[in-house]
Amino acid sequence: MNPSHFIAPPRAPHSKKFPGLSAAVLIGTLTCLLACSPANESAVRSVSPDEITQGLSIGRNPLILDVRSAEEFKIGHVPGAILVPVDELPDRLDILREIKKEREVVVYCESGKRARNAAQILIDSDFEAVGHLEGDMAVWRKRGLPIER
């Protein structure tokens, strides 16, 4: 191919006066994106329903946090779960810190969205051991696992 077919992109007017400025802007933008983005969701451990049921049977005692509504909780919830609707979670973090006593907090909702939001709130509030129940209540119910009312 003929090199004359390629047109170099125009240079910004400041690039001749300040050659490092474009790189500085790029680095600054990337730094801001990384610093301003939510905490890494990989900090939230995926917890299987089997792990919960087996753990409950051998005395493993995570704090199981149902972040659905009170109405949903009354219909049925994971045995031993406590109810803190996701919209109330920021106001109840101090109480959760007292209750959890070095235990992992495992969150769930009906299908995942509220639980992911709750897990992010916990991570952002310096809770170190946070898990999310795989499949949430929908899968728990579908598998016929024990339900408390």
The helix (H) or strand (E) run that includes residue 45 is strand 44-47
Asked if residue 148 is part of any domain, the answer here is no
Question: Is the pLDDT score of 122 beyond 80?
Answer: yes
Asked if residue 149 is part of any domain, the answer here is no
Return the SS3 of 101.
coil
Answer yes or no: do 27 and 73 share one domain.
no
Answer yes or no: do 94 and 137 share one domain.
yes
> Which whole number is the average pLDDT over 23-33?
43
Range of the domain at 86: 41-142
Asked if residue 3 is part of any domain, the answer here is no
Give the list of residues 6+ apart from residue 47 with CB closer than 8 angstroms, or none.
62, 106, 131, 132, 133, 134
Both tokens of residue 129?
Answer: 């051991």
pTM of the predicted protein model:
0.71
| Radius of gyration for the chain, computed over Cα atoms and rounded to the nearest angstrom | 24
Q: How many domains does the chain fold into?
A: 2
Answer yes or no: do 15 and 72 share one domain.
no
Answer yes or no: do 19 and 65 share one domain.
no
Q: What is the CATH number of the domain that holds 98?
A: 3.40.250.10
Answer yes or no: do 69 and 136 share one domain.
yes
Please tell me which residue in 44, 47, 78, 109 is annotated as part of the active site: 109
pLDDT single digits (tens) 37-95 = 444 456 999 999 999 998 866 667 899 999 999 999 999 999 999 999 999 999 999 99
Helix orientation angle between 93-100 and 113-124, rounded to the nearest 10 degrees: 80
Residue 109 bears catalytic tag: yes
Answer yes or no: do 106 and 56 share one domain.
yes
